Structure 1
C-alpha cells in the first residue's frame, strides 16, 4: 500500500483506536510538506547572499518588500514561493519528470557534499579547536541538557527522512528486494553524511559561519571564492530542490494512502490523468505558500510542523511492537530479528521524551524562532486530521465513526465486524 510509515502506524494501532491513523498521517505529511517552504526559503537566502545582497531579506533577519501581517516578505520568501510552485509542476504532471530531475541534481549534490566533508582536511583549514558543543556555557537550563534535547527534537525533522523509500514501495519493480535495498542504502548514506558533514564543515569554517547559515562564506573559505563559489552555490541549490521534489511526492502519497484506507476525505485519494495524487500535492502547494507568507522563517516553520512529524515516528515504533504481538502469523516479506522489539520500545521512549521537551521548550531554547503561534499551528494540524476523519466517516461514507477495528490474525481470515 501507499502511505509508508504513517499507514504502518495505522495498521498497528487501529485495533485499539482509529484516531492514530489520521494523526500519524497528517503529522507525517506536514513534516514532509514543509520541506518545500523550508528549503525554498533556504535557497532564497543562499541566492540572495551570493548575488543579491542589497535586496530585502525579510523575516526573521530584516525588513522585506512588504509585510503580510505575520512576517516580512523579502526576496528569499518570494524565491521560495516560486520554487514551491515549480516543484509542484514537476510532480503534478507525473513522477517521471521529477525523477529524471532528481537523478541529475542528486549526482551534482555529491560534489559540494564531498567538498564540505573533506576539503578542510586536504587544504589544511580543519582544526579540532573549532569543534565545540557549547553545552558547558554558563546559565543554560538543566546544565545544557534542555538546549541539547530541543535541538535533537528539531534535527529529527531532517535526520529521520530515511523512511521516505517505504512510501514509494508499491511503485518499485520488485517490491520486497527494492524496498530493502532503498531503505538500507538510504540509512547507511545518511549515517555517513550526518557523521562526516558536521565534523568536516564545522571543523573547517567554524561554528559561527555554520550557525549563521553562511554557506557562501563557507564556500569562499574552502575554494577561495570567485567562479568556483558561484558554481557550488548553483549545485547546492539544485541539491535542495531534490529534497523539495521528494517531499511533495512523499507527502502526497502519504495522504493518498490514508485516504484510500478511509481515514480522511475522499478527495485526497483521487489520482489525476498523469496517475499521481494531484489533489494531495495541491494541498501541499497551498499550505507551503501560506507558511512562507505568514511565518517566513525557517525554524518557525520547522517548529510548527515538527510535533506531528516526530509523533508519527512514535506511533510507527509502537505499531511495530503491537503488530509483532497481535499478528505473529502475519506474512512478513521483510523480516527483522526479535531483538528489534525491545530496541523499538527503547526508541519509542526516547522519541516520547524528545517530544515532551522539544515541543514544551523550543521557544526558549531554540533562539526565539518559535512561540505560541507555532505551537497552535502544530496542534491545529493534528486536530484537523481528526475532524477530517469524522467528516469522511459521517458525511462522505454515511456511517457512524468506528473508534477501533478488529483485525484478522492472517490475511486469509475474514475481518471481524468493526465496533
Structure 2
C-alpha cells in the first residue's frame, strides 16, 4: 500500500502535564503489588513448579512494557494507557472497524483494571483483621464466597477516602503515591531477598527440578489433571497480575517530557516487576517449604506474607517484623487501589473523547481530572467488593484485561508496517513488530483456551461468565453515545469545571 504521512492524527487527552518518569513509575508500582494476591494463591497449588511458570510470563510483561514505551512516546497526547494506542493504529487501514476496536479495547481494559481497587482493599483488610484480631466469622455470602462484615466495611471506607486524592489531581496524587511507593518497595524488596537474613532456615533442595507440593516432578499431574492442562488454565489468572505493571503507561500522557519519560518509566517498571515476581516465590519456597505451603493450618494464604516475615526473624523479632511487614503491605495495597481509581478514569475519559462512550464522561474538574469517570470507578468498585476474594475477582476481570492487549499488540505491528516514518522518540529494533504478533497470539490463546479451562476446573465459571457479560455492557453504552451524536448533530468537546 502507499506509504502514509509521517504525521499521526489522534484525539488529544488534554490532561494536566504535572508529572515525570518518576510519577509514572511509582504509580505503576500498583501493578507489582498485585503479587500479594497472586503468589499465595498459586504457590499453594503448584509449589516450586510455580517459579519457572511465573518467570516466563513475567518476562513477556517486560516485552509488553517496551512495546508500550514506544507507543506512548510517539502518542503522548493519548491517555488511558495501552488501549488508547489501538485506535490510531487501525484508523487508516480499517476506518470503519477502528472506532469499534478502540471502544471495545478501552472498555475491556477498564473491566480489567477497575476491580484492582476493591481487590487490594480486600487484601488489605485481611492484614488489618489479622493484626487487630477482628472477628471474621460474621458476614454474608452474596454469590458463592463468604465475605466478613469487617472486610466490606474496610473496603468501602478505604475506597471513599482514596477518591479524595484522586479527585484532587495528578500533582497531589503523585506526591502521595511517591510516599506510598517507597513504603511498598521496602517490604516487597525485603521479602524478595528475605532468605539472606536467615540462611540457616533456607532449604535450597526445595527448588531441585521445581517439584509440585507433593514432591512429584514438574510434569506430573496436579489434582488429577495433566500438568500442561493446569499450566494453561492457571496462566489465565496469573497473567492478570504479572503484566499489570504496564499500568505506568496510563500516565505517560501527563509527563512533561513523554519522549524521554516513557522509556525510563516503562523499562524500570518491567525490571522491578521481574525481580519481585521471580524472587518472591523463590524466597517463600526455600524458607517455608512445600509441607507448610500445602497446609493451610501452618500457612494461611491470606496472610502468607506476614507468616514469611516471622519465619525469617523468629521469636520477638519475628513478631515485630510481622507488624512492620503487615503495615507496609497495607500501605502498598492502598497505593494499588489509588492507581486503579486514577488510571481507569482516564480510560473512560479517552473513550468518550474518541466517540465510543457517553459524553457525560468528557468532563474535567478544575484540577483537570476526569471526575465523573473517576467517581464511576468508585461506585463500580463498591459493587465488585461483594465478589469476595482475589481468585474470584481475577476470574471476573481478566476476561477484559488480558483480551484488551491483543488488538493493541496487533496495532503495534500495523503502525510499524504502515507508518514506518512516524516520529518515534523511543524506537525498538524492527523485528519487535513480529515479537508483538507472537505475544498477541500467546495472550489470545491464554485468554480463550486458558480462560475456558480455568473457569471449568478452577470452579470459577460464575465469575468468568460475569466477566463476559460485563464486556457486552459496552454495547448499550456505545449505542447511547451514537444516539447523543445524532441528537446533537456534532461531537462535543471536553468541558472544564469553573
TM-score (norm 1): 0.86
In structure 1, which of residues 204, 208, 222 is the aligned counterpart of residue 312 of structure 2?
222
Structure 1 counterpart of 2:82: 5
CA apart distance, 1:70: 6.1
Structure 2 counterpart of 1:405: none
In structure 2, which of residues 234, 242, 251 is the aligned counterpart of residue 151 of structure 1?
234
Give runs of aligned pairs for residues 159-238 of structure 1, distance below 5 A. 159-207=242-290, 208=293, 209=299, 211=301, 213-224=303-314, 225-238=318-331
Q: Over residues 132-178 of structure 1, what are the superposed CA-to-partner deviations in whole Å (9 max), with x where a residue is unaligned?
A: 45254546566211211222221211211232222212211111001
Structure 1 counterpart of 2:467: 378
Q: Is the 8 A contact 1:50 1:216 kept in 2?
A: no
Specify whether residues 329 and 386 from structure 1 end up closer, same or farther in structure 2 by C-alpha distance, changes over 3 A only.
Answer: farther
Indicate the SS of the match to 1:330.
Answer: coil
Partner Cα distance (1:133, 1:309) in 2 = 30
Whether 2:359 is the aligned partner of 1:269: answer no
Partner Cα distance (1:4, 1:138) in 2 = 39
In structure 2, which of residues 193, 198, 204 is the aligned counterpart of residue 123 of structure 1?
198
Structure 2 counterpart of 1:393: 482
Q: Is the 8 A contact 1:12 1:323 kept in 2?
A: yes
CA apart distance, 1:291: 1.2
Structure 1 counterpart of 2:401: 309
Whether 2:110 is the aligned partner of 1:29: answer yes
CA apart distance, 1:28: 0.9
Q: Is the 8 A contact 2:357 2:477 kept in 1?
A: yes
Structure 1 counterpart of 2:138: 64
Give runs of aligned pairs for residues 3-152 of structure 1, distance below 5 A. 3-14=80-91, 15-16=93-94, 17=97, 18-53=99-134, 55-56=135-136, 63-68=137-142, 71-74=145-148, 75-124=150-199, 125-131=201-207, 132-134=210-212, 135-138=218-221, 140=223, 143-152=226-235
Specify whether residues 171 and 127 from structure 1 end up closer, same or farther in structure 2 by C-alpha distance, changes over 3 A only.
Answer: same
Name the stretch that deviates more: 284-293 or 133-142: 133-142
In structure 2, which of residues 420, 430, 444 is the aligned counterpart of residue 352 of structure 1?
444
Partner Cα distance (2:128, 2:488) in 1 = 52
Specify whether residues 221 and 317 from structure 1 end up closer, same or farther in structure 2 by C-alpha distance, changes over 3 A only.
Answer: same
Name the stretch that deviates more: 273-282 or 74-83: 74-83
In structure 2, the gaps of 5 or more residues are 1-77, 213-217, 294-298, 490-498
Q: Over residues 346-403 of structure 1, what are the superposed CA-to-partner deviations in whole Å (9 max), with x where a residue is unaligned?
A: 111111110112220223443x3x22x3123211222122321222123345499xxx
Structure 2 counterpart of 1:319: 411
CA apart distance, 1:326: 2.6
CA apart distance, 1:130: 3.4
In structure 1, the gaps of 5 or more residues are 57-62, 401-419
Structure 2 counterpart of 1:255: 348
Specify whether residues 70 and 288 from structure 1 end up closer, same or farther in structure 2 by C-alpha distance, changes over 3 A only.
Answer: farther
- Equivalences, count: 391
What is the root-mean-square deviation in Å for CA atoms of aligned residues? 2.4
Specify whether residues 8 and 387 from structure 1 end up closer, same or farther in structure 2 by C-alpha distance, changes over 3 A only.
Answer: same
Partner Cα distance (1:184, 1:113) in 2 = 18
